[in-house]
Structure 1
Amino acid sequence: MDKEQLERVRNGKGFIAALDQSGGSTPKALLQYGIQEDRYHNDEEMFELVHEMRTRIIKSPAFDSKYILGAILFENTMDRTIDGMLTADYLWKVKNIVPFLKVDKGLAEPGNGVQLMKPMPDLDGLLRRAVDRHIFGTKMRSVIKEPNPEGIREVVQQQFELGKKIFAAGLVPIIEPEVDIHSANRAESERLLKKEIAAQLASLPSNVIVMLKLSIPSEDDFYHDLIDDPHVARVVALSGGYSQSEANDRLARNRGLIASFSRALSQDLTDQQSNEEFDAKLSASIQAIYKASIEKIAATI
């Protein structure tokens, strides 16, 4: 684990950009970007187009380490290059932005009010490749739809069991048990989730470091005690289906919580824009998300 990168993640001002749409969500991401399905004919052409989109974002002058601490990549993006450099190397050496990797294989079928992660039989090999490609940390997502104590316990246990394995491989895991913002009794799901996360954190060996990626809570500052836990390098928030404007408004009311937005970061970007238009739109999004992530932090120092 790179100590300079860890210091930046722990104490830097900024947010995490999520650029990790995978096989299932890539066509949707390309459509949002203005690329219709008739522009590609197989997975390789699809992933080449999405890499061009991500490269355009990463190389934009708006994508600046003054505002962005890290970027989460999909495995296919990790294996590709930007200007002849591995994507993770370009992010860190050229942009001073910390690289993360999405490692989960998607969601299992619903059960007990939740969706666990699908099995990851090749995780050990993927973690070795990630270390070889100079990735700092990982991200993996589960979803909670109902306040089912057994289901939520299963979600958190699975996340932390894999998180400990990821940490042992030399990477910092982002643990992401998303609470569906549209679910009934959402506040009760959040209460049960926080209880289970706190129990898992309390049982960790003293040297283990994790990050948490959580839905913006229905009660402001609800996760503030998790932010202060010594095992937690940072707590970041997903946009969860909110528009960028609403996500920013809600995020700004939570001290210490910073963004890790995907769709809400890129929602106004299109393939058809000139570079000037593209950079201006991206800059506006980044500035707004940065402001929501940081201004309330500065106010409490």
Structure 2
Amino acid sequence: MLTLSKEIQNELQQTARSIATIGKGILAADESMSTIGKKFVQISVENTKENRRLYRQMLLCDDRIKEFISGVILHDETLYQKDDNGKNFVDLLREKNIIPGIKVDRGLVTLIGTYSETTTQGLDDLKPRCEEYYKLGCRFAKWRSVLKIDDQNGLPSALAIVENARGLARYASICQECRIVPIVEPEVLSDGNHSLERCQQVSQKVFAATIAALHEHNVLMEGILMKPNMITAGHDHGPSNAEEIGLATATTLLRTIPASVPGIMFLSGGQSEEEATVNLSMINQIGSKMRPKVPWTLSFSYGRALQNSAITLWAGNAANVGKARNELVRRMKANSMASQGRYMPEASSTSSTATKSNYVAKHVY
């Protein structure tokens, strides 16, 4: 935009388009040490630096993932870790033509003056960190902003919507100045008992406010990726069917997101692995038939919805790496098909873990 050279604009657009390659998506492997520790507790693995390295190695070092994954969001710790042969994980990804990304937000803090709503911290030193991450090979970044629906207390408040939109826009502007594609993640949480219709109403306001703030900060729309929630009923309300989710999600996006954005990479929001895949496929099926037809690549940026079965199979045991990777690749392939509207679930090949909800109330990363 106004502050970016043509060279930087071209680089950003090329990176964003590459990540949004049809049939490919993002593996979100950016869990904090505390979050991955919670996963390790469930499989009786000690939360040590070495065990985290071994887990990342299981996720990243299979050549087959390059067929389905265009980018991986890493945690800062992982940038400096190596595989058993001494090769840096970032270099391994680049050899597979997978673009390394990095989580740059520093988590949620209470937004004073609201009813326990939050904003995201990490802007103060973001520019020097992004400059260093670029030198280390990262070409895109992630920043999560969270809004919650609570009609009893009037949430989300106008203040929370505006504050989080501005934070996302400032983050995106800084990233682009540093030649890094920002993933813009305005997440409307599934916590609560609200209806699908209510989620759609709120999400439309949140997405529209986010896009408006991006424009105000002169963010290059062709050089970003969006990572929104799907439109679903609240967790305590009861499930919506895939057709309802697909229509509501595609409609909301068409109302709010510019066609110039290369890709929309959905978060899974606590859905089970299978739910996230089925719903992604339905969004693509319905979106391709709408008038106007959806103009973006609609794909995935999943963490739990790709990893859950794999980490359960791995369980910290080197002997289980092969079968854990096979399951990981199977989930990646399923979501690749879903991103093209072509996924056909097969009950006989779906594990009980894949259908287990990944919902965690007030989830943090």
TM-score norm. by structure 1 comes to 0.86
Question: Is residue 190 of structure 2 the alignment partner of residue 181 of structure 1?
Answer: yes
Give distance in 2, aligned partners of 1:124 and 1:242: 34
Q: After the TM superposition, which of the residue ranges 232-241 and 267-276 deviates more from structure 2?
A: 267-276
The residue that corresponds to 1:43 in the other structure is: none
Which has the larger strand fraction? 1
- Identical positions, percent: 22
Please report how far the alpha carbon of residue 19 of structure 1 lies from its aligned counterpart in structure 2 after TM superposition.
0.4
Q: After the TM superposition, which of the residue ranges 138-147 and 75-84 deviates more from structure 2?
A: 75-84
Give distance in 2, aligned partners of 1:257 and 1:287: 15
The residue that corresponds to 1:71 in the other structure is: 72
Q: 2:52 aligns with which of 47, 50, 53?
A: 50
Give distance in 2, aligned partners of 1:204 and 1:229: 18
After TM superposition, list the pairs within 5 Å mapping 1:156-167 onto structure 2: 156-167=165-176
Please report how far the alpha carbon of residue 213 of structure 1 lies from its aligned counterpart in structure 2 after TM superposition.
0.8
Note if contact 2:26-2:69 (Cα within 8 Å) is conserved in structure 1. yes
Give distance in 2, aligned partners of 1:206 and 1:174: 12
Output the amino acid matched with 1:31: V
Please report how far the alpha carbon of residue 57 of structure 1 lies from its aligned counterpart in structure 2 after TM superposition.
1.2
The residue that corresponds to 1:131 in the other structure is: 134
Please report how far the alpha carbon of residue 107 of structure 1 lies from its aligned counterpart in structure 2 after TM superposition.
0.7
The residue that corresponds to 1:200 in the other structure is: 213
The residue that corresponds to 2:31 in the other structure is: 21
Please report how far the alpha carbon of residue 3 of structure 1 lies from its aligned counterpart in structure 2 after TM superposition.
6.9
The residue that corresponds to 1:291 in the other structure is: 337
Output the amino acid matched with 2:226: L
Please report how far the alpha carbon of residue 238 of structure 1 lies from its aligned counterpart in structure 2 after TM superposition.
0.7
Seen in structure 2, the aligned counterparts of structure 1 residues 84 and 4 have a Cα distance that, compared at 3 Å, is farther
Q: Which runs of 5+ in 2 are unaligned?
A: 1-10, 150-155, 233-247, 285-296, 344-365
Note if contact 2:228-2:265 (Cα within 8 Å) is conserved in structure 1. yes
Give distance in 2, aligned partners of 1:169 and 1:115: 27
What is the RMSD computed on CA atoms of the aligned residues?
Answer: 2.4
Please report how far the alpha carbon of residue 284 of structure 1 lies from its aligned counterpart in structure 2 after TM superposition.
1.8
The residue that corresponds to 1:254 in the other structure is: 283
Note if contact 2:273-2:305 (Cα within 8 Å) is conserved in structure 1. yes
Please report how far the alpha carbon of residue 20 of structure 1 lies from its aligned counterpart in structure 2 after TM superposition.
0.4
Give distance in 1, aligned partners of 2:336 and 2:23: 8
Q: Summarize deviations over 1:139-195 as a string: whole Å, max 9, x none.
A: 011110033222111111111011101110111111111110124342222021122
The residue that corresponds to 2:253 in the other structure is: 223
Note if contact 1:13-1:69 (Cα within 8 Å) is conserved in structure 2. no
The residue that corresponds to 1:241 in the other structure is: 270
Give the length in aligned residue pairs.
286
Q: After the TM superposition, which of the residue ranges 181-190 and 244-253 deviates more from structure 2?
A: 181-190
Please report how far the alpha carbon of residue 96 of structure 1 lies from its aligned counterpart in structure 2 after TM superposition.
1.2
Note if contact 2:23-2:340 (Cα within 8 Å) is conserved in structure 1. yes
Q: Which has the larger radius of gyration?
A: 2
Seen in structure 2, the aligned counterparts of structure 1 residues 207 and 198 have a Cα distance that, compared at 3 Å, is closer
Please report how far the alpha carbon of residue 49 of structure 1 lies from its aligned counterpart in structure 2 after TM superposition.
1.2
Note if contact 2:106-2:120 (Cα within 8 Å) is conserved in structure 1. yes
Please report how far the alpha carbon of residue 12 of structure 1 lies from its aligned counterpart in structure 2 after TM superposition.
4.2
After TM superposition, list the pairs within 5 Å mapping 1:140-159 onto structure 2: 140-146=143-149, 147-159=156-168
Q: Which runs of 5+ in 1 are unaligned?
A: 41-45
Please report how far the alpha carbon of residue 120 of structure 1 lies from its aligned counterpart in structure 2 after TM superposition.
4.2
